[in-house]
């Protein structure tokens, strides 16, 4: 039945051919109206989505200036490592096959869409629509050395009374 909550009712955590010991993909068809970033939501159909839960790409956050009010320079680094594009392509291929099976409700695939059938087309779609739903990890390195943002007790170096106790001090994204 159509989702009353505008999100996927089916969900899978799978290993892609690039996976190590943990699943590295979340796959879910989402009944619409939901749209990838920058797209208008259609009235009916479904969107196929794959998420790399263990990406190899790394982004960065840097200070723009010494002005504490200046916004930082944030580069998420999406798809910087080609393995992530391979992983997301594999995920969309798997979920597309599942959505085309007899057990899935009949509806139109709106995204990536029936016109996206070649490997190049699918990879181009991924490049255009990639995003994140994760908390950034590793943005405030923890360590005993003076270059670390926080010490081993999570105190922010140079700022009295402030600790960071979230994924920012973790060196990698925790795998779901």
Which residues are designated catalytic?
135
CA–CA–CA angle 99, 103, 107 (5° rounding): 50
Return the half-sphere exposure (C-beta side, CA atoms, 13 A cut-off) of residue 160.
0
Burial of 49 (C-beta count, 10 Å sphere; 0-12/13-18/19+): buried
Q: CB-based contacts of 148: which residues, under 8 Å, 6+ apart?
A: 141, 142, 157
155 beta partners = 163
């Amino acid at each position: 039945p159509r989702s009353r909550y505008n999100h996927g009712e089916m969900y899978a955590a799978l290993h892609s051919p690039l996976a190590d010991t943990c699943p590295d993909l979340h796959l879910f068809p989402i009944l619409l109206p939901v749209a990838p970033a920058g797209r208008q939501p259609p009235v009916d159909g479904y969107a196929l989505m794959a998420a790399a839960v263990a990406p190899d790409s790394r982004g960065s956050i840097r200070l723009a200036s010494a002005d504490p009010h200046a916004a930082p320079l944030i580069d998420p680094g999406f798809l910087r490592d080609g393995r992530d594009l391979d992983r997301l392509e594999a995920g969309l291929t798997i979920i597309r096959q599942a959505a085309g099976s007899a057990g899935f409700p009949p509806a139109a695939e709106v995204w990536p869409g029936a016109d996206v059938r070649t490997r190049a087309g699918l990879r181009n779609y991924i490049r255009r629509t990639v995003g994140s739903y994760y908390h950034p990890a590793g943005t405030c390195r923890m360590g005993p050395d003076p270059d670390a943002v926080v010490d081993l007790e999570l105190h922010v170096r140079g700022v009295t009374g402030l600790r960071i106790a979230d994924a920012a001090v973790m060196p990698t994204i925790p795998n779901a």
